Chain A
Amino acid sequence: MSAGSQDTKRKIKLTLPEEEIMSPGHVACLGCGASLGMRYALKALGHKTMMAIPACCWAVIDGPFPYSAAGVPIHHSAFETAASTAAGMTHALSQLGQDDVTTMAWAGDGGTFDIGLQALSGAAERNDNLIYVVYDNEAYMNTGIQRSSSTPHGAWTTTTPVNHYRKGQKKNIMEIMVAHRIPYAATANVAFPEDFIRKLQKAKEIKGMKFIHLYAPCPTGWKHATDKTIEIAKLATQTNTFPIYEVENGVYKINRKIKNPKPVAEYLQYQGRFRHLSDDEVAYIQSEVDKNWERLLKLEQAFGEE
């Protein structure tokens, strides 16, 4: 093919909305999954969006006063208040007749799985009209890589050092949210932005509480090369470590069923945080991934579409 010809020009087809709302110049680390996540989210939701962002990497990424990179209004909130602050925002917008504005809470896994869980549960139970996105990088990254209840089994963090690596399962936040009987809960992965954007656009049209669990690798905390962010994120789904599914009004749908899932070891190998693991531990992690996947399949069988 001849580059630069009229012919090629016509072939350019973008699979994501073209407009960039988030601006460059932000201070995310190289290869940051969370910055990709925000870029996609704003492409999906557009200018008429306002956000509550608690203490998390994005409290810094957006930039210091007097600057901002997001391009939409942000209220930087206290750590445990993403959901409750956003609840206040959405009720205010409703009272002020601004129902065309989308309210989004954008929080990390610490602010969601741990310290913010109570407020999140409250907003979910009340079915407040907002989209809550947790960008999950599986540890307290902004404070320097301490374990959270989202840190997976086997991982090194600064509070689960190599000789005492994280033992136990990552909290299943999706099941917690589904248990609240909210109208929409979904997982998404920065490696599949079309899917993430479709889910946000769907969530935007649903009234009530929408929850999206976004998988967002962190090169700094996971100790992987900065160019591997998307590759690792893809592997997380291709190995069934992080399945992509949605639960709409209680109906489960797995969006990506992997025919021949790759071994988890392939996913683990690129990440320094798992480097210390013995073969036995890797086998154990594989067995847990398999169990979780089987459980999800059963949920879909039981509560999927007729």
Chain B
Amino acid sequence: MKKVLTGNFAAAYGATAAKVNVVAAYPITPQTTIVEILSEIVADGHLKADFIKVESEHSALAACIGAQAAGARTYTATSAQGLALMHELIHWAARGRLPIVLTNVNRAMGPGWSIWADTTDSISERDTGWMQVYCENNQEVFDTILMSYKIAENEDILLPQLVNLDAFFLSHTSQVVDMYDQKTIDSFLPPYKPTIKLDVENPRSFGALTSPEHYYEFSYKIAMAHEKAKQVIADTGREFKKIFGREYGMTESYRCDDAEYILVTYGTIAGTAKDAVDRMREKGIKVGAFKIRYFRPFPVEDVVAGLSHAKKIGVIDRAVSYGHGGAFFTESKAAMYGHDIPMYGFIAGLGGRDVSIEDISGMVGHMQHQDPENMIWIGVKK
């Protein structure tokens, strides 16, 4: 069944289709409609779940942690300041190995107050142990939420996952989304049955004081789960394709095969980049677009395989790590170490500034004629 949905509705319907048991969330622009629609779906009985209307994002994630630890499948959603307020518990969920799925509508951090797209919020959660995925369109939002539960709950993984979509460009923009029937979804995503949880029949304490003798190994286990997740993500993507017809990997190549110039992007800019590539191709420029879906685990192998034939590589970040550059750029550059390909780091679209096809064509022009730099600010008023 096809529906016209905004990204936020796609997210809410994704959580509904995943039959989550407990939702705990707090409203923040531009995530708000996710909370609104889900509270209605739960109140109307279309989803058999408890919606805990918490007093803060901090409590939203804490409640999800408590519920997930007790054996429930949980869901929450937030943006920017809300994600930052959750930060302590973002760590808690990962180290507790609780496969919570969180939709983050990427929004700029204040001050000044900005409700517009910027991925600094989620990039700031890089080192928490969460898997992070970035969506290009609303179909991908819906599909990714379903796949996220399957990946996160895998016994070898048990890691929470952040599903990111850009403020307004997706959250409030309507697109056609194929919803599938619930029976098919259930066959893809069975109920959550954790083998280790809070259980009065087998009482254990979770998260007790952990000495240097053991803490290190728990960190190692999280790192190893991230390594394993690469395979699980690929397998889940293939299984998803078998049932639903669309395949998702950790990355996606667009007209890259013979490309001399490759633009690496994520989120909605990836869509614009594809259009820009089409236009430049018409002019005979051999350019391709390479979308990174997963930021954590970072798809090093896919990046190397997808980019190593390029003459020049540009990476577009809608965020900046002050003092060095965009995180997708620095990670990609590290992945490409030893390949001796000039790499350009483009900062673009911060705080919701539009990134146009012309901007992207301009980046390729820059790559054709200028030396590589780590931080090239596109469209900044200098």
Contacts and interface: CB of A to CB of B under 8 A. Distances in A.
A144 to B, nearest CB: 16
Interface string A126-144: 1010000000000000000
Given A84-B58, A95-B50, A75 B206 contact: yes
A214 interface: no
B59 interface: yes
A122 B211 CA distance: 34
Contact of A122 (B21, B22, B55, B67): B55
Interface in B167-221: 198-200, 203-211, 214
Contact of A92 (B48, B54, B70, B206): B70
B379 interface: no
A52 interface: yes
A85 interface: yes
Interface in A80-115: 80-81, 83-89, 91-96, 101
B49 interface: yes
A92 B48 CA distance: 12
B53 A91 contact: no
Contact of B56 (A60, A86, A118): A118
A91 B200 CA distance: 16
A75 to B, nearest CB: 5
Interface string B205-239: 11111110010000000000000000000000000
A48 B200 contact: yes
B162 interface: no
Contacts of A50: 70, 198, 200
Contacts of B207: 75-77
Given A65-B209, A95-B72, A88 B204 contact: no
Nearest to A128: B52
A52 B89 CA distance: 14
Given A73-B203, A76-B206, A95 B49 contact: yes
Nearest to A21: B203
A92 B205 contact: no
Interface residues of B, number: 42
B205 A70 contact: yes
Contacts of B58: 80-81, 84, 118-119
A144 B207 CA distance: 22
B64 interface: yes
Interface centre among B24, B67, B207 (most CB of A within 10 A): B67
Contacts of A87: 24, 52, 54, 59, 63, 66
Contacts of A88: 22, 24, 52, 62-70, 72, 74
Given A63-B208, A74-B205, A119-B58, A92 B89 contact: no
Contacts, number: 166
Nearest to B206: A75
Contacts of A62: 205, 208
A78 B70 contact: no
Contacts of A63: 205, 208-209
A68 interface: yes
B52 A91 contact: yes
A216 to B, nearest CB: 20
A142 to B, nearest CB: 11
A78 B96 CA distance: 11
B249 interface: no
Contacts of A94: 50
B92 interface: yes
B71 interface: yes
A91 B205 contact: no
Given A64-B209, A87-B66, 20 more contacts: A52-B66, A59-B209, A64-B210, A71-B203, A74-B198, A74-B208, A76-B208, A78-B88, A84-B63, A85-B63, A85-B66, A91-B24, A91-B63, A92-B68, A92-B71, A93-B70, A119-B62, A122-B59, A125-B55, A126-B53
24 contacts: A59-B209, A62-B205, A63-B209, A68-B203, A73-B205, A74-B205, A75-B65, A75-B198, A76-B206, A77-B62, A77-B66, A84-B63, A85-B66, A87-B66, A88-B22, A89-B67, A89-B198, A91-B22, A92-B74, A95-B50, A96-B21, A101-B200, A118-B55, A126-B52
6 closest cross-chain pairs (CB), A and B: A88-B66, A122-B55, A92-B72, A88-B63, A88-B67, A76-B207
